[in-house]
Amino acid sequence: MTQHPDAMKWNGRYQTDGHYRQQGRASQLLQQFAHLLPKDGVVLDAAAGVGVNALFVAQLGIHVVALDISEVGLRLLMQKAKELGVGVETAVFDLTTPHFPQNCVDAILNFRFLERAAFPAYRQALRPGGLLFFETFVHTDSGDVPSYFLAPGELHHAFADFEIVHSVETAVRGHRSGNMRPVAQLIARKPGDWRLETGDCTNL
């Protein structure tokens, strides 16, 4: 995994500024709707980076599994978790080719990251009644790389068969630049019978 181009890129970035990134605040969307998170469930933080959102959830006393392709980012996350006295499970994981057990987590966080191949994997991993928290950038400029940006309306459409709790396209302030950037936000609940047999995502 360490030879993966994305792993090399993000390992280098986090070695340079990972501690600075950890000084940021958890997503405003996550903070606003944190009351929806399952207190006794398992939350999967996809592309967790240095773990600002994962640590926020762990401090609520919720079981968190943080995934990222960067070993350096996850190492910084574990160091911070130890300082804070909270537990977070981590796994080096390539979300470009994702696979999860079926019905194994109660919520998934996807912030500032886009991999469309993960959409069906998220559907599979969420337990019936589970929540998807999603926020990432929307394509608005001819200079944007489409594979890294959502098209307007794309996120809502992709999960339109879920129960939509919150869906909006808005602008948020960049953590580092301070500039306002367009994003799509979605909180959606997977339909179905919660009594179905569940799997285990804690052994990735």
Predicted confidence band at 1 (pLDDT cuts at 50, 70, 90)? very low
Residue 161 CB burial class (10 angstroms; 0-12, 13-18, ≥19): exposed
Residue 12 lies in a domain: no
- Report the CATH number at residue 168: 3.40.50.150
d(Cα 173, Cα 171) in Å, to the nearest integer? Answer: 7
Could you tell me if 131 and 106 are in contact, meaning their C-beta atoms sit under 8 angstroms apart? yes
- Tell me which of 105 and 145 has the higher pLDDT: 105
Q: Name the least confident of 38-42, 117-121, 177-181, 184-188.
A: 177-181
Q: Name the least confident of 40-44, 45-49, 198-202.
A: 198-202
Residue 161 lies in a domain: yes
Residue 47 has pLDDT above 60, yes or no: yes
pTM: 0.89
Q: Which two tokens stand for residue 98?
A: 């994702």
Task: Say how many domains are in the chain.
Answer: 1
d(Cα 59, Cα 185) in Å, to the nearest integer? Answer: 23
Residue 78 lies in a domain: no
pLDDT in tens, 166-179: 999 988 876 666 67
Segments forming the whole domain that contains residue 145: 114-194
